[in-house]
Chain A
Amino acid sequence: MNINLELTERKAPVSGEIRMSTRDMSLYYGDFQALRDITLDISENAITAVIGPSGCGKSTFLRLFNRMNDLITGVRVEGRVELDDVDIYDKDIDVVELRKRVGMVFQKPNPFPMSVFENVAFGPRRHGRKNRIELEDVVEKSLQQAAIWDEVKDKLGQSALALSGGQQQRLCIARVLAVEPEVILMDEPCSALDPIATLRIEDLMRSLSENYTIVIVTHNMQQAARASDMSAFFMMEEDRAGVLVECGPTAEIFTNPKDKRTEDYITGRFG
C-alpha cells in the first residue's frame, strides 16, 4: 500500500509547542451531548487531522476553536478550550478578535458574490484598512500565499463565482490569510473538489504549515495519511456522543494504532 510508503518519506516538523487545546471539554445541543470529555492538544505549525466516521462530531469539534457553534441556539460548552493558555469561552473574550486569529475554511467553497479582489480585501476592510495601496499589497500577498495569484492576477475585478471549485477554495484560503490569522481551521476543505484540485489544496496546506497551525477535519483517510502530521481519531459512543479515541503522530496512528477501535476503523477502510 502506497500510503505507508508516503508516510515514511515525510518528516514530521512538529515543534512541540501547543497553540490550542481542549481540557475535559463537553458540548451539548440542548439535552443532547454531542462531544464528551475531550482533551486534545493542537501543535504549533503542524497539520492536525481530525478523523472518524460521519456524525461523530468532528465538525462540531472544529467549530469550537473559533466559536462558530455560537451561531446555533442551545449550544453549551463545558470544560476549557484554550488558545495560548487563555480560555476562549471566557465571557470577556472578544469573539471577533478570536476569529481574526483563528480563521476558517469551509466544506463548500463560499466566496462572496463579489470580485476576486473584494473577496480577499473583505477581512482587512472590515478591520479598518482603507488605504488602496495597502489593500492591493495584502491581496497580492494573500493570493500568492494561497498559490492562486498566477491564475487570477489578470481577473481581480471579475466575479469570484466564475472561478472553478478548486480556485474558489484557494481564494477562500487567501481570504482567511488576508487577516493574518495564527490558526487555520479547515472543515473538509476538499470534499467538494476533484482529485487534482484536492492535491493542490494539500500541497498548499503543507507549505502553509510552515507558518500556520492548521487543523483539518476530513473523512478521507488517504488525505489524513498524506497531508497531516498529527491525527486525532474520533468515534461515536452508544449514546451518540463523540469521544476522542486516540491522538498522536499520523504515522503512528496509521501504522501502529494503540486502540483496537482505531485499528478496526483504519483497516476497515483500506483492506
Chain B
Amino acid sequence: MKTRMAPRQISQRTAFSLLITATAVVVLPVVVIIIVIILNGAGAISWDFLTQAPVQAGKAGGIFPAILGTFYLMLGTIIIALPVGVLAGVYLSEYAIDNWMTRTVNLAIVNLAGVPSIVYGLFGLGVFVLMFHMGMSLLAASLTLACQALAMTVTTSREAILAVPREYREGSLAVGATRWQTIRHVVLPQAMPGVITGAVLAMSRAAGETAPILVVGAAFFLPALPNSPLDQFMALPYHLYTVAAHIPGMPKSTIWGVALVLLAVVLSFNVIATIIRLRARKRRYST
C-alpha cells in the first residue's frame, strides 16, 4: 500500500538492532576467550601434562596435583555446602514463618553471594585455620569455599522447593502424612533436579575460586599429593595465577595449557548442570 516505512516500523527496527547488538556484546567476549584459550593451550595438553607432577617450579612436567587438588576442593566444598544448603532451604521454605526475621535472613543469604571472595578467605583464615587450628589445609579451604557456596545452595534449594506445586503437598497431608514425611517423600524428590543444579554450579564456582584458597591452604609448588584433609594442596586457579604472573621464563604454552584445563573443568560442570535442568524440565512436561 505504502512504500515508506511508518515511524513505528522504524522504531521497531531500531529497537531490534539494539537488542541484537547488546546480545552480541554479551556473547562475543566469552566466545573469543574460549577460542583463544583453546587455540593457544591445546598444544600443551598431553597425557604427561595431565598425569605428571610438576618439576622446576612448573616449567616442566605436568599439573596433576593441581587438577586433583581442585577436584578434592570441589568435593569437600559440596559435601559440606549441599546438606547444609538443602536443610536450610527446607527450613526457610517450609517451616519459617513469614515475618521480618525470615525476610531479613533471606535477604542476608542472597547478599552473601555478593561478598567479595577475599573476605571469605580472610574469614576462613581467622576461623578455620587459626581459631580451630586446622592450619593451611584442604579442610580449611573446603570449609571456606563451602561458606561461600552456601549462598547459592540455600537459594537454589529454597527456590526449587517452593516451585513444587501445592497440590502435591496437600495430597500428601490429606492422607495423613506428617509435614516431615511430606517434605521427605514428596517435596524433596520433586525439588531434587533444581537442588542438584545449584550444587553443581556451586562446585564449578569453587573450582574457579582463587583469592580465598590463597590464604587458607593452596600451595604453589607441592609435587606430592595430599594424604589427608589436613594437608596443603595445589589447585588449578592458583597454579595458573603463579605460573602466569610470578615465574620468570615460564613457557607460554604451559600457561595457556593450565588455563585450558581450568576452563574445561569449570565449563564441563556448567554443562552438567544445564543437562540436569533440561532433563528435569523435559520429564515434567512430557507427561
Contact = CB atoms under 8 A, between A and B. Distances in A.
Contacts of B172: 112, 122, 126
Q: Which range contains the number of B residues in contact with the other chain?
A: 20 to 34
Contact of A161 (B177, B185, B190, B287): B287
B271 interface: no
Given A73-B98, A122-B185, A126-B185, A112 B176 contact: no
A64 to B, nearest CB: 14
Interface in A109-148: 110-113, 122-123, 126-127
A172 B171 contact: yes
A100 B178 CA distance: 11
Contacts of B167: 106, 108, 110
B258 to A, nearest CB: 44
Contact of B174 (A73, A103, A161, A162): A103
B170 interface: yes
B97 interface: yes
B186 interface: yes
Contact of A73 (B97, B173, B181): B97
Contacts of B1: none
Interface string A151-179: 00000000101100000000010011011
Given A73-B97, A110-B168, A159-B287, A104 B177 contact: no
B175 interface: yes
A96 B101 CA distance: 29
A36 interface: no
A176 to B, nearest CB: 6
B257 to A, nearest CB: 46
Main secondary structure of the interface of B (DSSP, over half): helix
Contact of B175 (A73, A100, A113): A100
A162 B175 contact: no
Nearest to A118: B185
A97 interface: yes
A100 B176 contact: yes
A103 B173 CA distance: 9
Contacts of B186: 112
A93 interface: no
Contacts of A108: 167
Given A73-B98, A126-B181, A176 B174 contact: yes
A196 interface: no
A99 B173 contact: yes
Given A73-B98, A106-B171, A126-B185, A96 B176 contact: yes
Interface centre among A73, A126, A179, by most chain B C-beta atoms within 10 angstroms, is A126
A175 to B, nearest CB: 6
A66 interface: yes
B175 A103 contact: yes
A66 B170 CA distance: 11
Contacts of B176: 96-97, 99-100, 123, 126-127, 179
Interface string B186-204: 1000100000000000000
A106 B167 CA distance: 8
A66 B177 contact: no
Contacts of A104: 170, 174
Contact of A110 (B171, B181, B190): B171
A68 interface: yes
A71 interface: yes
Given A73-B97, A122-B185, A126-B181, A175 B175 contact: yes
Contact of A175 (B165, B168, B171): B171
Nearest to B99: A73
A175 B170 CA distance: 13
A99 B287 contact: no
A111 B174 CA distance: 12
Contacts of A97: 176
Contacts of A112: 168, 171-172, 186
A179 B171 contact: no
A58 to B, nearest CB: 17
Interface in B133-158: none
Interface in B91-127: 97-98
Q: Closest 3 interchain pairs by CB?
A: A100-B176, A123-B175, A110-B167
17 contacts: A68-B174, A71-B173, A99-B175, A104-B170, A104-B174, A106-B170, A108-B167, A110-B168, A112-B171, A113-B190, A123-B177, A126-B176, A126-B177, A126-B178, A127-B176, A172-B171, A176-B174
Interface of A: 66, 68, 71, 73, 96-97, 99-100, 103-104, 106, 108, 110-113, 122-123, 126-127, 159, 161-162, 172, 175-176, 178-179
Given A103-B175, A112-B171, 4 more contacts: A96-B177, A104-B174, A110-B170, A126-B185
